[in-house]
């Protein structure tokens, strides 16, 4: 059957019109998404001190959690690290975990499950840190933490082991971040729970983190004092763990400059602690995830 040329032209025009409308709709949607999502603050990109840069970006990642999801925020923070906007994404992942806890009305299990792997699993740490930090009295939360991480489960035994260790590490952060327990008492509170070494590591890292914003001269001055709270515990392993974690923190502080980090380790008081610090820097400033 023959069709009139005019009908064919009308059909072509209709297709072109629909394509244009669809294209305009896509552009409008993209424009809407662009306006809806927050923008990283420009002033953060030029921060010289790495720790100050992490703090500057904190509200941006928190807003991504609230407006989209913790998983989306984790994709973005990992992208920041890949693009070398930040040297390390672990602490910002902590902030994402804490924001996730608030987003899900402080339901720790739900917030923990919303996290994604990456950035040395900082999102999981942040959830548990926020949960413990929120407790009115750390002495009442201490009995609760004994079995809290045992409820974390996965069909994969290796993943389950990894997640439980992250849970314990985050609890250690929270015990010190609460500011009611001195760091030495926080270490004692970690005793007896599953993955107590990971809990102690979290407590020590939280203790050390407060010094990462210092200028180099001030940091050198304070380095010999950082592990002193553990000397009275009659636990040499805790002091060595502190020196080891200083090495991790120094690699973050120096943007993974190995030579500079090892030089800063020499500010510690004894050859044994200096060696423990340097060994940690040589391992790349990476936290042991499961011990």
Query: Given a cut of 80, is residue 182 above it in pLDDT?
Result: yes
- For residues 21, 23, 29, 31, the Cα torsion angle rounded to the nearest 10 degrees is -110
pLDDT tens profile 68-93: 999 999 999 999 999 999 999 999 99
Query: Given a cut of 60, is residue 14 above it in pLDDT?
Result: no
Q: What CA–CA distance (Å, rounded) separates 231 from 228?
A: 5
Q: What is the pLDDT of residue 7?
A: 58
Query: Quick one: average pLDDT of 220-246?
Result: 91
pLDDT tens profile 39-58: 999 999 999 999 999 999 99
Every domain of the chain and the residues it spans: 214-291
Query: Quick one: average pLDDT of 3-26?
Result: 49
CA geometry: angle at 64 spanning 209 and 92, to 5°?
A: 15
Query: Residue 33: pLDDT band by 50, 70, 90 thresholds?
Result: very low
| pTM attached to this predicted model | 0.82
Rounded to 5 degrees, φ, ψ at 88 are -145, 145
Most confidently modeled of 67-81, 149-163, 171-185, 233-247? 67-81
């Amino acid at each position: 059957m023959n069709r009139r040329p005019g009908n064919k032209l009308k059909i072509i025009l209709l297709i072109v019109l629909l394509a244009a409308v669809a294209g305009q709709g896509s552009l409008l949607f993209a424009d809407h998404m662009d306006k809806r999502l927050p923008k990283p603050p420009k002033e953060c990109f030029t921060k010289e001190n790495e720790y100050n840069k992490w703090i500057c970006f904190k509200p941006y990642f928190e807003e991504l959690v609230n407006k989209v999801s913790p998983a989306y925020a984790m994709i973005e923070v990992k992208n920041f690290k890949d693009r070398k906007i930040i040297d390390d994404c672990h602490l910002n992942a902590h902030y994402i975990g804490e924001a996730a806890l608030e987003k899900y009305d402080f339901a720790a299990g739900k917030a923990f499950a919303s996290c994604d792997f990456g950035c040395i699993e900082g999102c999981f740490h942040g959830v548990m840190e926020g949960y413990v930090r929120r407790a009115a009295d750390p002495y009442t939360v201490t009995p609760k933490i004994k079995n809290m991480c045992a409820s974390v489960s996965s069909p994969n035994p290796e993943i389950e082991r990894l997640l439980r260790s992250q849970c314990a590490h985050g609890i250690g952060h929270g015990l010190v971040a609460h500011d009611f327990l001195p760091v030495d008492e926080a270490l004692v509170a970690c005793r007896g729970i599953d993955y107590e070494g990971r809990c102690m590591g979290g407590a020590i890292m939280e203790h050390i983190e407060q010094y990462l914003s210092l200028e180099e001269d001030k940091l050198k001055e304070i380095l010999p004092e950082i592990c002193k709270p553990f000397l009275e515990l009659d636990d040499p392993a805790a002091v060595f763990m502190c020196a080891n974690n200083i090495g991790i923190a120094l690699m973050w502080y120096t943007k993974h400059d190995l030579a500079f980090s090892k030089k800063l380790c020499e500010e510690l008081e004894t050859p044994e602690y200096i060696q423990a610090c340097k060994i940690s820097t040589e391992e790349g400033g990476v936290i042991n995830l499961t011990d």
